[in-house]
Amino acid sequence: MPPETSEIKKAVEKALGDKKERKFTESFDLHIGLKGVDLKDPSKRFRVEVLLPHKLTKDVRLCVIADEATLTKAKAAGVKNTLNETELEDLVRNPSEAKTFIDGIDYFLAIPQMMATVGRLLGRFLGPAGKMPAVMPPQADVNDFVTRYGRTCRVRLRQNPVIHTRVAMEDMSIDQIVDNVRTILSEVENRMEQGANNIRNMFVKTTMGPAIKIGV
């Protein structure tokens, strides 16, 4: 059976209550252990981006890859990382630098005309990292993408039957954290053949705090 909202809330409150004061804002993480899932079958694995009901972070790290006109709009919307085609070609000349840059980005966006070039030049770095770019139409409102990706959570199930992902920040309200946790749990349950019966256990924790089990 999926956990009751009250059980999630109790675990969230305890995780926040047990944490020590830090000089930085800690993230709030969700750990889901699975059972009865044959991950030797690639079709049972997944990587999905989930839109949360509440903003996950104030400073989502986006990179827009586009022509100069689109990049001008992106910069005006507050996007700090942008690449035109020339800068993209320069970046991949140094694989170590390219990997470091990619590690520092949460999500990549690219206009349709640049997708093939991005795949050719950066695909070997972006693919394994699960960060292939989403398509952004040239006439799209970049602010909408900034807002959307501030509420986006990446959920992955690979070779091991565990899912670990950031779902909130500690300075969010308890109800907001609970809402985000429930959204992720619902997404995972919907992708399991036996729904909630494929979930072995669930824990929440702050970055540096202890793991608190949800439910019994």
- Enclosing H/E stretch for 156: strand 152-157
Q: What is the pLDDT of residue 1?
A: 64
Cα end-to-end span (Å), the chain? 12
The residues, ordered by sequence, that sit 6+ positions from 3 with a Cβ below 8 Å of its Cβ are 185, 202, 214, 215
- Enclosing H/E stretch for 6: helix 5-18
Q: What is the pLDDT of residue 90?
A: 94
Residues 29 and 207: beta-carbon distance below 8 Å: yes
User: What residue ranges of the chain are covered by domains with CATH 3.30.190.20?
Assistant: 5-54+153-213
Question: What are the φ/ψ torsions at residue 143 (nearest 5 degrees)?
Answer: -60, -35
User: What residue ranges of the chain are covered by domains with CATH 3.40.50.790?
Assistant: 62-148
Q: Report pTM.
A: 0.82
Beta strands 199-206 and 27-34, pairing class: antiparallel
Cα–Cα distance for residue pair 105/148, rounded to 1 Å: 16
Q: What is the pLDDT of residue 193?
A: 92
Residue in 182, 183, 65, 161 with CA at minimum distance from that of residue 119: 65
Residue in 166, 62, 167 with CA at minimum distance from that of residue 104: 62
Letter for the amino acid at 107? Y
Residue 151 is encoded by which pair of tokens? 């509420």
The residues, ordered by sequence, that sit 6+ positions from 39 with a Cβ below 8 Å of its Cβ are 45, 157, 158, 159, 160, 161
Q: How many CB atoms are closer than 10 A to CB 165?
A: 17
Q: What is the pLDDT of residue 216?
A: 56
Instruction: pLDDT tens for the chain, 216 residues: list them.
Output: 678 889 999 999 999 887 677 777 888 999 999 999 999 999 999 999 999 999 887 678 999 999 999 999 999 988 999 999 999 999 999 999 999 999 999 999 999 999 999 999 999 999 888 899 999 987 888 889 888 988 999 999 999 999 999 999 888 999 999 999 999 999 999 999 999 999 999 999 998 889 999 985
Domain 62-148 has CATH 3.30.160.270: no
Cα–Cα distance for residue pair 159/126, rounded to 1 Å: 19
Instruction: Specify the CATH superfamily of domain 5-54+153-213.
Output: Ribosomal protein L1/L10, rRNA-binding domain (3.30.190.20)
Q: Cα Rg for the chain, rounded, in angstroms?
A: 19
Cα–Cα distance for residue pair 78/143, rounded to 1 Å: 8
The residues, ordered by sequence, that sit 6+ positions from 103 with a Cβ below 8 Å of its Cβ are 129
